[in-house]
């Protein structure tokens, strides 16, 4: 068995090297593969719940989530994020997952009305660098979100990867809600995407939010991810501290979990930016969301900085305008 595993590891390493060689020297292969690499990394980073529905959880009520809030009390009060937030990520041989638990400084009624609505999610998702377009519509199964994923600059939608999420409201009560988004297929050989979101009220008038992302993958996308991490993704880190550098600074996790953690944080900050802008007059909410999201990501510049403020704002204003016109 050990010999078989070693052989498989060598085979994966050789295939990853060959993939990178092809991407480096073949213009035709570049046109096909690098075009979707940012979308692939985005999706793999946000993760979703491989092969199962989170709606099968046995207790769909506020109690387990409030118990988790109590359990994470110390981590929520004392952490590197300078906010009441706990981030975790996992990786196995065929799936990846990221999750955030966070205290939101807004009443539960506000959070429920904002997030428990598919149309509002497009205003949340478009804040992310790689989301180029989002549209909520009805289909035979209920409600769907059409999302286009692409590069970190303005580009035609024809050059972006389109993904279809089915939106399902699991439960809504006066003190708890849960919803799920899922997609069967993604770029390369990724599949079984799941987004699980739940929230409950806290005694102090705030809300406790839990967002889980997971997805399943095959050999093709694992090799593509290895190629990304060996090239343009080299040196990028996540948030989990793995030790200390010689200069005393923290050493952060890299690899697939680093990708998952960066994108999990970007999406949480998009949710927070959307909630923060709700008290602003409607005509000013977009600008408030954009500025808030960028400011918050710059608090974690080591992990999240990608483009300058003016570039981000110009790109997102154009993408939002295109989204409104298209709908």
Give mean pLDDT, residues 153-159.
Answer: 94
Q: What is the CATH number of the domain that holds 18?
A: 3.30.530.20
Query: Is position 3 within any domain?
Result: no
More confident residue, 77 or 223: 77
Tokens 């930016």, located at residue: 273
Is 1 domain-assigned?
no
pLDDT of residue 220: 66
Q: Which domain holds residue 214?
A: 10-326
Among 154, 66, 134, 169, smallest CA distance to 270 is for 134
Residue 2 lies in a domain: no
Q: Categorize the per-residue pLDDT at 316 as very low, low, confident or very high, splitting at 50, 70 and 90.
A: very high
Mean pLDDT of the chain: 80
Q: State residue 140's pLDDT score.
A: 78
Q: How many domains are there within the chain?
A: 1
- Its pTM stands at 0.81
pLDDT at position 36 over 50: no
The DSSP code sequence of 77-93 is HSSTTSSSEEEEEEE-S
Sign of CA pseudo-dihedral 272, 278, 280, 283: positive
DSSP letter string, 240-277: -EEEE-TTSPEEE--HHHHHHHHHHHHHHHHHHHHHHG
pLDDT-derived band at 193, boundaries 50, 70, 90: low
Q: Which two tokens stand for residue 121?
A: 């999610």
pLDDT higher than threshold 60 for residue 40: no
Q: Is residue 265 part of a domain?
A: yes
Alpha-carbon distance 55 to 48, whole Å?
13
Instruction: Check if the beta carbon of residue 114 is closer than 8 Å to that of residue 275.
Output: yes
Residue 149: what pLDDT?
87
Q: Which of 26-30, 79-83, 137-141 has the lowest mean pLDDT?
A: 26-30
d(CA 19, CA 224): 7
How is residue 116 annotated by DSSP?
Answer: S
pLDDT tier at 79, thresholds 50, 70, 90: very high
DSSP-derived letter for residue 48 is B
In a domain, 31, yes or no: yes
Give 259-272 pLDDT, tens digit per residue: 888 988 998 999 99
State yes or no: pLDDT of 124 exceeds 90: yes
Q: Assess if residue 132 is contained within a domain.
A: yes
Beta-bridge partner residues of 100: 87, 211
Q: What band does 166 get if pLDDT is binned at 50, 70 and 90?
A: confident
Which one is predicted more confidently, 31 or 67?
67
Work out the burial of residue 302: count CB atoms within 10 Å of its CB; fewer than 13 is exposed, 13-18 middle, 19 or more buried: exposed
> Does the pLDDT at position 8 exceed 70?
no
**Mean pLDDT confidence for 176-196:** 72
Over residues 169-191, mean pLDDT: 79
Residue pair 22/223 in contact (Cβ under 8 Å)? The answer is: no
pLDDT at 190: 58
**Could you give the percent of the chain with pLDDT greater than 70?**
74
30 falls within a domain? yes
Query: Is the predicted pLDDT of residue 310 greater than 90, yes or no?
Result: yes
CB 194 within 8 A of CB 72: no
Residue 324 Rama label (left phi>0; alpha psi -120 to 50; beta): alpha
Q: Please state, for a pLDDT cut of 90, what percent of the chain lies above it.
A: 49
Please indicate, yes or no, if residue 122 is contained in any of the structural domains. Answer: yes
């Amino acid at each position: 068995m050990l010999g078989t595993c070693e052989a498989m590891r060598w085979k994966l390493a050789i295939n990853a090297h060959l993939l990178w060689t092809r991407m480096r020297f073949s213009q035709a292969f570049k046109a096909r593969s690098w075009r979707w690499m940012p979308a692939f990394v985005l999706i793999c980073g946000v993760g979703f719940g491989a092969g199962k529905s989170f709606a099968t959880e046995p207790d769909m009520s506020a109690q387990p989530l409030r118990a988790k809030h109590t359990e994470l009390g110390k981590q929520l009060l004392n952490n590197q994020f300078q906010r009441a937030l706990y981030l975790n990520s996992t990786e196995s041989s065929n799936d990846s997952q990221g999750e955030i638990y966070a205290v939101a400084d807004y009443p539960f009624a506000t959070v429920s009305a904002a997030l428990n609505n598919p149309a509002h999610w497009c205003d949340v998702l478009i804040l992310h660098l790689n989301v180029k377009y989002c549209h909520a519509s009805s289909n035979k199964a209920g409600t769907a979100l059409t999302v286009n994923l692409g590069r970190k600059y303005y580009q035609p939608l024809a050059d972006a990867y389109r993904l279809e999420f089915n939106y399902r409201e699991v439960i809504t009560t006066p003190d708890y809600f849960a919803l799920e988004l899922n997609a069967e297929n993604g770029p390369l050989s990724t599949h079984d995407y799941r987004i699980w979101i739940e929230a409950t009220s806290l005694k102090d008038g705030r809300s406790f939010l839990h967002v889980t992302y997971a997805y399943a993958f095959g050999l093709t996308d694992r090799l593509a991810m290895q190629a990304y991490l060996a090239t343009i993704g080299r040196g990028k880190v996540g948030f989990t501290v793995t030790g200390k550098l010689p200069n005393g600074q923290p050493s952060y996790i890299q690899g697939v979990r680093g990708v998952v953690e960066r994108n999990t944080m970007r999406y949480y900050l998009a949710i927070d930016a959307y909630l923060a802008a709700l008290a602003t007059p409607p005509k000013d909410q977009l600008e408030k969301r954009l500025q808030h999201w960028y400011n918050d990501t710059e608090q974690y510049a080591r992990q999240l900085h990608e483009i300058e403020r003016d570039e981000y704002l110009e790109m997102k204003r154009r993408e939002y305008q295109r989204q409104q016109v298209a709908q």
